[in-house]
Amino acid sequence: MAKRVSKDHEERKNELLDAAQRLFVQRGYDATPVSAIIEAVGVSKGTFYHYFKSKEDLLDQQVARILENIFGKIDEVLAVGERDAVGKLRVFFAASSRWKAANRDALMAVVKPVYAEENFRLRQKLLSRSVELGVPVLEKIIRQGVAEGSMSTPFPREAAEMLISASYALGHENFRLLTGMDEHPENWELLLRRLSAYEWSAETMLGLPKGTLQITSEGSLKAFGPRHATGGETGDER
């Protein structure tokens, strides 16, 4: 009899998360039973339930991992080179957009069930985790900008919270526009308008000249556009 391979706790957990992610992309969340995830990894049902209370709990932890990857990428890029606050703010948005574009299929497969009507609790946890991870980074950048004189706000912490919360608030409708893009290519222009509104709000809140952030000109947006969309120029991360 072959000896069962014993793996580190986090390694096994990530193996299950990775397998579930692949299956969600291939089949969709609803069409992927726990048994398929177990079979893909080659573990027992007891092993699965040792790490996750349910498939919904696995989805919850998958979303948390995605957020950690996004903000980890932002930290990684910010750590390279010296930048002023405006440059760091551009990096904050650009690094996030590029990670999402590079992981489009996996992201869309996970986000779809998150925005299902019955998953309000999970969406609230998504917001809470986004605030927890994103606000300290943004607040630090904004405080630097105020000190440098490039930004103007008496409320750095609150501005950071509102930017993260506004991004989350736009998410549900943006997802609806994205998922209907192939049948309704006009959604592309609506999506760009919503991103432009967010960009304008962020610049106004921080006292930045209009056009400073250029969120909607990210070349990585092309990954989410209709098949004929050309998108814009890639943002500067220097």
**Is residue 238's pLDDT more than 60?**
no
Domain edges within the chain: 7-52, 54-224
Who has greater pLDDT, 44 or 8?
44
* SS3 per-residue string spanning 73-138: HHHHHHCCCCCCHHHHHHHHHHHHHHHHHHCHHHHHHHHHHHCCHHHHHHHHHHHHHHHHHHHHHH
CA–CA distance, 191 with 222 (Å, rounded to integer): 12
Sign of CA dihedral 46, 50, 53, 59: negative
CATH architecture assignment, domain 54-224: Orthogonal Bundle (1.10)
CATH number of the domain at 7-52, please? 1.10.10.60
Q: Do the first three CATH levels of 7-52 and 54-224 match, i.e. the same topology? A: no
Q: Summarize pLDDT for 81-140 with one digit per residue, the tens.
A: 889 999 999 989 888 888 888 888 888 888 888 887 777 888 888 888 889 999 999 999
pLDDT over 90, % of the chain: 43
